Chains A and B, each alone.
Chain A
Amino acid sequence: MTGPNATGPNATGPNATGPNATGPDNDVSASAVRPPGETLVELAGLSVGYRQHGRLVPAVDDLSLVVAAGETVAVVGESGSGKTTAANAILGLLPSNGVVTAGRITLAGNDVTGASDRVLRQLRGPFVGLVPQDPMVGLNPTMRIGAQVGEAVRRRGVDRRLVPAEVREALERAGVDQPAMRARQYPNELSGGLRQRVLIAIALAGHPRLIVADEPTSALDVTVQRRILDHLASLVRESGTALLIITHDLGVAADRADRVVVMRRGRIVEQGGPREILLHPREDYTRHLISVAPALSHAGGVVPRHTTTATPVSAPLLRLDGVGKDFRLPRGGESRTFTALDDVSLTVHAGQTLGLVGESGSGKTTALRIAMGLEPPTRGRVWLDGTDITGASWSTLRPLRRRFQLVHQNPYSSLDPHFTVGQSIAEPLVSFRVGDRASRAARVRELLDQVALPVSYADRRPAELSGGQRQRVAIARALALSPELVFLDEPVSALDVSVQDQILTLLARLQDELGVGYLFVSHDLAVVAALAHQVAVLRNGRIVESGPAATVLTAPAQAHTRELLDAVPGQRFAADLAGATVRPPGETAPGPDAAGSGAAVGPSLKSESGAAVGLKG
């Protein structure tokens, strides 16, 4: 691809802020980008690199960006696009090996390029606040919530006696229930969603003019993600704070931002209002991002890949029959139990995918563990291809394990860092004494080919691979023994949306070619839609709805399923668009399942996304 900002020909575009920021037409383009309010942040031709082993590795290249008071700007890009580096540069939190090599950072009218930490620290808190990426690790584990929020309050010079009240207020504003009680708790006593709200409360407690939210919800369930982002957006609107959202998901950006900035490899590809970017993307890369955001590429609807509504007639490969699981509760001592699963019945058919959907805590992981024989059910039976494996011992289960394999959620931790890719893939073969050295090597080559990795990767180690490549290796390893059934435990939730799409396409292709059955566990219905023939929705350990994907995803009968569908990012934008352009006057706003009204916009988005195919891979 050529320079990210096609600078010349398209003078109509509002995106010419790139390399020619000082050019003669700067005034025109800058005024197009520069919003009316007071300028809070201005990055001018910013380049940032990291010193590594004596070399300077560029991370951000010639980035120009303006955030004005009260506006919401979203920076969208894949991992490695430099978006987090840009955010850290604004906060003055670049790691010690990060160097600003060119350009200027202006905060509140002060040039702070290369300023000392002492100067920058004056701006953190009252001027700019941070909502960090991963709420599970974003809070000090050994400090009470109240004290952590209190630090941000005291930073404003609030009287010591008034701090507790202000802490409670900040927590309450961030949507934390029972703030007085929460303030006394430690982070480990809170769920991920609550921790993220506490982090938002910390950012708000400093009364900043700007909040930088770095992938604020990508570690959370879609439903929680939606609730929290909505809450953050409304707080920002009320208080007139500006918001800079960093995300890999164009859908998240489209739903909330006044302005979208697309970044790739440290440079701005294009920027503009969400409508311009999504309806008339000028760059192939933007089209590619649109095509992989599930809701955007289908104009607001979650569209299942498999449209058959017939129930398969073949004998089930895996059957869970009225399975229940109780856990003893630690506190209370007596016979108090927690029912993690209750009367769950599932079937997976050969060559088909069952999508098991639910929020965290719904029991999907427990169901998966029971299905794999890692945990005995309290009630019910588990059948594998007609054999009852309920409570089977390790040694009885062992020969059966050849027939079902697992792909883990996190490809960063599921591969042994000391093994080469080839060793990892061949390990199941070695473990089951399949073939000799030569035939195993041949099988590894064949598998690498199947997951579309170069054969030369067999000698590499996981550290040299990207997340998507690692997940391909994990898939190849799961397929090594030619299993009939593969358990997929959130296989794409740790990956960027664009990479998610590639992995899902790969999994679908492998199913077509090899006829393998999948039990696909995920919290994201959009992801499940890309693979599932059948869908079962779990909530509080019970199946609330199940059936063919085509039925459950397009005409959900249960409120909870609809809630999960509504949470898929990008829908609101697509629905707005559909409402604005197609909806005849008088008709009510289309729901997410109103595929009919959305379809009219569909083609324009879809045909453009089709052009981006060449970028995948």
Chain B
Amino acid sequence: MPRYLAGRLAQALAVLWAAYTVVFVILHVLPSDPITLQLSAGGADISQLTPTQLHILKDRYGLDDPILTQYFHGLWNALHLDFGMSLTQNVTVGSLITDKVGSTLELTLVALPLMVIGGIGLAYLASYVQWRPARTLLARLPAVGVSLPQFFVGLLLIQAFSFSLHWFPATGEDGWRSLVLPAVTMSLLGAAMLAQLLIRSFADTWREPHIATARAKGLSRGTVQLRHVLRNASLPALTLLGILLGYTVTNAVVVESVFSRDGLGQLAQRAVLGQDVPLVQAIVLIAAAGFVVVNLLVDLLYTLLDPRVAAAARAG
């Protein structure tokens, strides 16, 4: 097991390094002049600068150095969580992110259980209910959830629950009430995707031969579903859950702008629009790190839930 763990950790670090490298290459090496890009992002026009001024500026941002030096310098700093100065705002990237990350984290932590409970709950019901019309209805529901765009769901919820019913505020970040609508919006797509996969998985598991063994013991449908079907059916959903969580920052971009929340998503959007290279780089790395950590957890969870994977892990 320690070897398996070490292997997974090494993989995670390799993914992070690759993410940094890809972002660096795209932002620095692709044919667009990084100096112009960064200077104009900083509000300066390159044609009005004297060569001396240009040189001073380049020196300040380290743009004079050879590309490899810049790369390793940046990598070294990134390892120390130092992402440099933002080009558009006169503060460090680190302080900008620590400012905003809390709001997004809060949103995600509320949305995640909603997503898991909603997805599993719907699939569990759809698989358990015997009455055909209800069963069909429940089984079709996730397709609707998957096909609705997130911003549309958000606007719909605002219309219904803030403007008509006045239950929750439409925007802002003020207490738990302001978290409800964004969290529901954020979780809906994931829940629908999870449910879609799980309904299929439940049906497949019910047809497995070992279910016949369980039923032949004389166990009730409820017991069979809870003790024998649920765990086996959830295994394929675990991978999907990891992927869905990886999309947190992407989701936050949409949800935070619909509900005017000032989080990482909004920050990312502004950074891209303002061509704030260090900030974009940092946010991409954070998203990648989140993805990597979540999938590392999923891999470890697999070894807990599936003894076959655990056996392979011990062997590998």
B81 CB within 8 Å of chain A: no
Interface 0/1 of A129-163, CB less than 8 Å to B = 11011100111111100001001100100000000
Across-interface contacts of B200 in A (CB, < 8 A) = none
Within 8 A of B (CB), among A113-140: 117-118, 121-126, 128-130, 132-134, 137-140
B214 CB within 8 Å of chain A: yes
Interface pick from A199-207, A281-289, A550-558, A577-585: A199-207
**A121-B218 contact in complex given A141-B210, A331-B315, C-beta closer than 8 Å:** yes
Across-interface contacts of A93 in B (CB, < 8 A) = 212, 215-216
Instruction: Determine if A125 and B218 form an interchain contact, defined as CB atoms under 8 angstroms apart.
Output: yes
Q: Which of B216, B219, B220, B227 contacts A130 (CB 8 A)?
A: B216
Instruction: Determine if B218 and A132 form an interchain contact, defined as CB atoms under 8 angstroms apart.
Output: no
Give A residues with C-beta under 8 Å from B: 91, 93, 117-118, 121-126, 128-130, 132-134, 137-143, 148, 151-152, 155, 186, 188-189, 199, 202-203, 206, 330-331
- How far in angstroms is the closest Cβ of chain A from B132? 11
Closest to A141 in B: B308
- How far in angstroms is the closest Cβ of chain B from A125? 3
Closest to B205 in A: A140
Across-interface contacts of A122 in B (CB, < 8 A) = 218
Across-interface contacts of B232 in A (CB, < 8 A) = 140-142
Give B residues with C-beta under 8 Å from A: 208-210, 212-221, 227-228, 231-232, 235, 305-308, 311, 314-316
Q: Which of B213, B214, B218, B307 contacts A142 (CB 8 A)?
A: B307
Instruction: Determine if B217 and A141 form an interchain contact, defined as CB atoms under 8 angstroms apart.
Output: no
Q: Which of B213, B314, B316 contacts A138 (CB 8 A)?
A: B213
Instruction: Determine if A134 and B209 form an interchain contact, defined as CB atoms under 8 angstroms apart.
Output: yes
Closest to B219 in A: A151
Instruction: Determine if B212 and A132 form an interchain contact, defined as CB atoms under 8 angstroms apart.
Output: yes
Across-interface contacts of A202 in B (CB, < 8 A) = 213, 217
A91 to B213, CA, bound (A): 11
Across-interface contacts of A129 in B (CB, < 8 A) = 216-217
Across-interface contacts of A186 in B (CB, < 8 A) = 307-308, 311
Instruction: Determine if A140 and B314 form an interchain contact, defined as CB atoms under 8 angstroms apart.
Output: no
**A142-B306 contact in complex given A117-B221, A137-B210, C-beta closer than 8 Å:** yes
18 new A-B contacts at CB < 8 Å, known A118-B220, A121-B215, A138-B213: A93-B215, A93-B216, A124-B215, A125-B218, A129-B217, A138-B212, A139-B210, A140-B210, A141-B210, A141-B307, A142-B306, A143-B228, A143-B231, A151-B217, A151-B227, A188-B311, A202-B217, A330-B316
**A132-B213 contact in complex given A125-B218, A206-B218, C-beta closer than 8 Å:** yes
Instruction: Determine if A152 and B210 form an interchain contact, defined as CB atoms under 8 angstroms apart.
Output: no
A-B residue pairs in contact (CB < 8 Å), sample of 28: A121-B218, A121-B219, A122-B218, A124-B218, A125-B216, A126-B218, A128-B216, A130-B213, A130-B216, A132-B209, A132-B216, A137-B210, A138-B209, A138-B210, A140-B210, A140-B214, A141-B232, A142-B231, A143-B227, A148-B213, A155-B218, A186-B308, A186-B311, A188-B308, A189-B311, A199-B213, A202-B213, A206-B218
Across-interface contacts of A128 in B (CB, < 8 A) = 216
A126 to B219, CA, bound (A): 11
A314 to B306, CA, bound (A): 54
A139 to B315, CA, bound (A): 22
**A125-B221 contact in complex given A140-B228, A142-B306, A330-B314, C-beta closer than 8 Å:** no
Per CB-CB distance, the 4 closest pairs between chain A and chain B, nearest first, are A125-B218, A330-B315, A130-B216, A186-B307
Instruction: Determine if B219 and A137 form an interchain contact, defined as CB atoms under 8 angstroms apart.
Output: no
Across-interface contacts of A130 in B (CB, < 8 A) = 212-213, 216
A3 to B213, CA, bound (A): 35
- How far in angstroms is the closest Cβ of chain A from B130? 9
Closest to A147 in B: B227
Tell me which of B212, B217, B220, B305 has the highest count of chain A C-beta atoms within 10 A of its own C-beta.
B217
A121 to B224, CA, bound (A): 12
Across-interface contacts of B219 in A (CB, < 8 A) = 121, 151, 155
Instruction: Determine if B305 and A142 form an interchain contact, defined as CB atoms under 8 angstroms apart.
Output: yes
Instruction: Determine if A124 and B217 form an interchain contact, defined as CB atoms under 8 angstroms apart.
Output: yes
A588 to B293, CA, bound (A): 73
Q: Which of A117, A137, A141, A203 contacts B216 (CB 8 A)?
A: A203
A118 to B214, CA, bound (A): 15
Closest to B209 in A: A137
**A141-B213 contact in complex given A126-B218, A330-B315, C-beta closer than 8 Å:** no
Tell me which of B208, B218, B228, B316 has the highest count of chain A C-beta atoms within 10 A of its own C-beta.
B218
Instruction: Determine if B307 and A188 form an interchain contact, defined as CB atoms under 8 angstroms apart.
Output: yes
Across-interface contacts of B210 in A (CB, < 8 A) = 137-141
Across-interface contacts of B214 in A (CB, < 8 A) = 140, 151
Closest to B210 in A: A140
A142 to B316, CA, bound (A): 20
Instruction: Determine if B208 and A124 form an interchain contact, defined as CB atoms under 8 angstroms apart.
Output: no
A186 to B231, CA, bound (A): 14
Q: Which of A118, A139, A331 contacts B314 (CB 8 A)?
A: A331
Tell me which of B213, B219, B235, B307 has the highest count of chain A C-beta atoms within 10 A of its own C-beta.
B213
Closest to A121 in B: B218
Across-interface contacts of A91 in B (CB, < 8 A) = 216
**A206-B217 contact in complex given A140-B210, A330-B316, C-beta closer than 8 Å:** yes
Instruction: Determine if B213 and A125 form an interchain contact, defined as CB atoms under 8 angstroms apart.
Output: no
Instruction: Determine if B217 and A152 form an interchain contact, defined as CB atoms under 8 angstroms apart.
Output: yes
Across-interface contacts of B316 in A (CB, < 8 A) = 330
A125 to B213, CA, bound (A): 10
- How far in angstroms is the closest Cβ of chain B from A218? 13
A143 to B307, CA, bound (A): 8
Closest to A199 in B: B213
Across-interface contacts of B212 in A (CB, < 8 A) = 93, 130, 132, 138
- How far in angstroms is the closest Cβ of chain A from B168? 40
Across-interface contacts of B220 in A (CB, < 8 A) = 118, 121
- How far in angstroms is the closest Cβ of chain B from A219? 11
- How far in angstroms is the closest Cβ of chain A from B309? 10
Closest to B231 in A: A142
